[in-house]
């Protein structure tokens, strides 16, 4: 239950973060203004950050514990391991989760703490006096290596969520014969929509559809 509830909070964050990020397609004024509004939240922003951090740590701690308990429940491994029903996604929750964690650490160092690329801290403010998140994202994603890593991470996020979002209902006991397969399909559609939404950003920069704009 804790894994389910902490997971759903993370899903809500991921939806909100995507909607915020997609504003890059509306131009620098939109996305930079949006980032400024977030910063204006002041102490509330720090409270949200703290809740997210505790949430993600609890999600990881309890999933790893679940994985260990499952393994202990059958110390001797199966001599012949035929997969009957479990999907590829459900069998790889721990590994996709661990690569996602590595992605989040890199992502925070890159865009939030801005410790990876010295150009980010040196960016001039936009004409409205806001930090230029737009140019930071464009500069970041012009590297095919960085964009490739993001797209791979978004693929794993989708894989992770395609299983996780529908398991949520099962973990809470909200399960029935007609509804469960539909929830599983809805979870998969939702996860791959997130993949398309997030990946569209590095892809659009690499294709030159979203590019640096002069401030004059
Ligand atoms: C293409 C995909 C993504 C893009 C373009 C993106 C973009 C950004 C940007 C620009 C920031 C810094 C905002 C600022 O300081 O003004 C940020 C922060 C952050 N991102 Fe992402 N992000 C992406 C995917 C993700 C994913 C998948 C997750 C989580 C699973 C995530 C979690 C975070 C977190 C936790 C922060 C820190 C927020 C804060 O400082 O309060 N991001 N992201």
What ligand 1 atom has the least distance to the C-alpha of 201? 1
Q: Is 117 left (phi over 0), alpha (psi -120 to 50) or beta?
A: beta
Question: Residue 216's pLDDT band (boundaries 50, 70, 90)?
Answer: very low
Give the pLDDT mean for 114-130: 93
- Helix 2-21 and helix 144-171, axial crossing angle in degrees, nearest 10: 140
In short, whether 176's Cβ falls inside 6 Å of ligand 1 is no
pLDDT of residue 68: 84
In short, whether 17's Cβ falls inside 6 Å of ligand 1 is yes
Question: Residue 213's pLDDT band (boundaries 50, 70, 90)?
Answer: confident
Q: Which of 12, 21, 51 to mutate to test the pocket of ligand 1 (most atoms within 8 A of CB)?
A: 21
CA 73 – CA 69 distance, rounded (Å): 6
In short, whether 150's Cβ falls inside 6 Å of ligand 1 is yes
Give the pLDDT mean for 154-162: 90
pLDDT of residue 52: 96
Give the pLDDT mean for 172-176: 70
In short, whether 14's Cβ falls inside 6 Å of ligand 1 is yes
CA 34 – CA 37 distance, rounded (Å): 5
**Distance of alpha carbon 29 from its chain centroid, rounded?**
24
Tell me the range of 43-57, 154-168, 202-216 where mean pLDDT is highest: 43-57
Alpha carbon of 13 to ligand 1 centroid (Å): 10
Q: Which of 112, 114, 204 to mutate to test the pocket of ligand 1 (most atoms within 8 A of CB)?
A: 112
Alpha carbon of 156 to ligand 1 centroid (Å): 16
pLDDT of residue 92: 74
What ligand 1 atom has the least distance to the C-alpha of 39? 16
Residues 6+ apart with CB under 8 A from 162: 87, 89, 187, 188, 191, 192
pLDDT of residue 166: 65
Structure tokens at 109: 């160092």
CA 123 – CA 135 distance, rounded (Å): 8
Q: Are 111 and 137 in contact (CB under 8 A)?
A: yes
Q: Are 10 and 195 in contact (CB under 8 A)?
A: no
Give the pLDDT mean for 24-53: 96
- Residue 118, pLDDT > 90, answer yes
pLDDT of residue 170: 66
Question: Domain ranges in the chain?
Answer: 2-73+90-206
Q: Which of 6, 17, 48 to mutate to test the pocket of ligand 1 (most atoms within 8 A of CB)?
A: 17
- Residue 155, pLDDT > 80, answer yes
Q: Is 87 left (phi over 0), alpha (psi -120 to 50) or beta?
A: beta
Query: Is the CA virtual torsion 191, 14, 22, 215 positive or negative?
Result: negative
In short, whether 141's Cβ falls inside 6 Å of ligand 1 is no
Give the pLDDT mean for 143-171: 86
Question: Which runs of E-coded beta strand occur in the chain?
Answer: none
- Per-residue pLDDT of 46-89, as tens digits, reads 999 999 999 999 998 998 888 788 778 766 666 655 555 555 65
Question: Residue 109's pLDDT band (boundaries 50, 70, 90)?
Answer: very high
In short, whether 23's Cβ falls inside 6 Å of ligand 1 is no
What ligand 1 atom has the least distance to the C-alpha of 140? 5
CA 52 – CA 100 distance, rounded (Å): 15
- Per-residue pLDDT of 175-209, as tens digits, reads 677 777 888 888 889 999 999 999 999 999 999 99
pLDDT of residue 81: 57
- Residue 111, pLDDT > 50, answer yes
């Amino acid at each position: 239950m804790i894994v389910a509830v902490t997971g759903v909070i993370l899903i809500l964050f991921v939806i909100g973060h995507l909607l915020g990020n997609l504003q890059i397609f509306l131009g620098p004024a939109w996305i930079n203004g949006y980032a400024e509004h977030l910063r204006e939240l002041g102490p509330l922003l720090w409270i949200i950050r703290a809740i997210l951090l505790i949430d993600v740590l609890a999600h990881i701690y309890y999933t790893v514990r679940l994985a260990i308990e499952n393994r202990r429940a059958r110390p001797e491994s199966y001599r012949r391991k035929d997969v009957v029903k479990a999907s590829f996604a459900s069998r790889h929750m721990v590994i996709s989760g661990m690569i996602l964690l590595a992605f989040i650490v890199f992502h925070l160092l890159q865009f939030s703490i801005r410790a990876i690329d010295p150009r980010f801290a040196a960016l001039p403010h936009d004409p409205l006096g806001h930090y230029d998140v737009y140019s930071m994202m464009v500069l970041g994603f012009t590297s095919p290596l960085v964009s490739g890593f993001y797209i791979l991470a978004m693929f794993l996020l989708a894989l992770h969520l395609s299983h996780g979002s529908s398991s949520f209902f099962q973990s809470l006991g909200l399960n029935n014969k007609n509804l469960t397969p539909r929830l599983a399909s809805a979870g998969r559609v939702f996860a791959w929509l997130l993949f398309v939404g997030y990946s569209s950003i590095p892809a659009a920069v690499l294709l030159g559809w979203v590019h640096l704009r002069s401030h004059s």
